[in-house]
Structure 1
Amino acid sequence: MKISGVDIRPGNILEYEKGIWKVAKIQHTQPGKGGAYMQVEMKNLQDGRKTNVRFRSADTVERVRLDTKDFQFLYAEGEDLVFMDNDTYEQITLPGDLLGDARPFLQDGMQVALELWDEKPISVELPAQIEATIVEADAVVKGQTASSSYKPAILDNGVRIMVPPHIGSGTRIIVDVYEQAYVGKAG
């Protein structure tokens, strides 16, 4: 499906210069002279390259629809990850860097969505939020106001995030996987 250059949004998957690209950021710019354009930051889903491209309103680009299939994460094998198709029980091995910054949040048995293009997996999507345990948290500094101050903490997967002062070691919390941010205490 062709879309205008100014209709591009973050998260769109585009076919550009014979590659499949995921839009990371956009910025609409209207210079004093000349026509408006959309500055688009994209990441190639096949080889991981990043690029910035200007699209004018007259430019059109092909928006790609990916097939999504549910898989279960089984185990890591070196740098590779092994997943199982929930329908056929077939196993598939993918490189760990396909997950990017979300890699540490992958847990044994986790249900994930693989995005397929031409029957080939090009991205792995984890649940937006997961539960994790705080293993180390800094002490509260007396006099800090609870409303605006956060302190660093380390999760059981080794990721460092900022949490409110009342959260201590051993607390189960909910974390936003892609923002790597504290959401709330776990039930």
Structure 2
Amino acid sequence: MIESSGLKAGMVILLDGELHSVASAGHHAGGGQQAGAVFVKLRHLKTGHIKELRLHLSDRLEDVVLEHKVMEYLYTDGVAFYFMNPDTFDQISLPTKAIGAYEKFLQPNMRIPVQLYEGEPVNIAFPAQVELAVVSTPPGLREHESSTFKSATLDNGMEVLVPQFIKEGDTVRIDTATGKYVERVRREGRRP
């Protein structure tokens, strides 16, 4: 059990017998006759629905520890995403709603941690950033200017804004939460 004041984004709790992931938790100190409160946004792990709650600081919730198992992404059929355990070759599926916006970052044979609860897959622990190759982008206006951006198409089909010095063939790091460019990935033995 955990007090509501200890909730943090990313935690998984059991609420009304269902698993929910904490999307955000904001603490309000209160004052005068108002007691402090915690404002929480929870995402239902099976349906993806968002629920907003106002909890007292002393409310206790059942936190859940999920098992993490690295699995290899295989394919999607439009209804579910299929993953394989590389050690046992067992396959599991997760509904499309569980993957959500991360779908555009999944690539075949990508290894990713899948979260399991009592042996059943419930969610993926997607990395905060991914590395993708630039397939096409126009030449930069000025070689070293980084205050203006241009459009680039990545190998997963996404279009992002990148600095002027990015060229075709470069690998860039993208924030998975926002879909925005973070930095160029420098490879060992290669000069900029």
Which residue pairs with 1:53 in the alignment? 53
Q: Are 1:23 and 2:7 counterparts?
A: no
Give, in angstroms, the shift of residue 52 of structure 1: 0.8
Query: Aligned-pair distance for 1:136?
Result: 4.1
Change (3 A) 1:28 1:149: farther
**How far apart, CA to CA, are the structure 1 residues paired with 2:94 and 2:52?**
27
| Equivalent pair of 1:132/1:174 in contact (CA under 8 Å) | yes
Tell me, which stretches of 5 or more residues in structure 2 are unaligned?
Answer: 188-192
Question: 1:41 aligned to 2:29?
Answer: no
Q: Evaluate the alpha carbon distance shift between residue 31 and residue 109 of structure 1 in structure 2; reply closer, same or farther with a 3 A threshold.
A: same
- List per-residue Cα deviations over 1:132-157 (Å, max 9, x = no partner): 12234466567xx63x4434433221
Q: Cα deviations across residues 100-124 of structure 1 (Å, max 9, x unaligned)? A: 1111111111111111112211101
> How far off is 1:158 after superposition?
2.4
CA contact (8 A) 1:106 1:126 kept: no
2:101 alignment partner, SS class: helix
Unaligned runs of 5+ in 1: none
1:131 maps to what in 2? 131
Give the match for residue 91 of structure 1. 91
8 Å CA contact 2:68, 2:113 repeated in 1: yes
- The one-letter amino acid paired with 2:184 is K
| Aligned: 1:65 with 2:65 | yes
What secondary structure does 1:86 align onto?
coil
Letter in 2 for 1:19: E
Of 101-110 and 171-180, more deviation after overlay is shown by 171-180
Residue of structure 2 in register with 1:175 after alignment: 174
Is 2:153 the partner of 1:157? no
Of the structure 1 ranges 43-52 and 153-162, higher mean CA displacement relative to structure 2 is found in 153-162
Superposed CA deviations along residues 4-44 of structure 1, whole A, max 9, x for unmatched, are: 11111111111112211111112111334311111111100
Percent identical across equivalent pairs? 28
Moved more, 161-170 or 101-110: 161-170
Partner Cα separation in structure 1 for residue 139 and residue 51 of structure 2: 42
Between 34-43 and 159-168, the greater mean CA deviation after superposition: 159-168
Q: How many residues align?
A: 184
Q: TM-score, structure 1 length as denominator?
A: 0.85
Q: Deviation at 1:77?
A: 2.8
Partner of 1:11: 10
Alignment correspondent of 1:166: 165
The worse-fitting range, judged by mean Cα deviation, of 72-81 and 131-140 is: 131-140
In structure 1, C-alpha distance between the alignment counterparts of 2:88 and 2:162, rounded to whole Å: 41
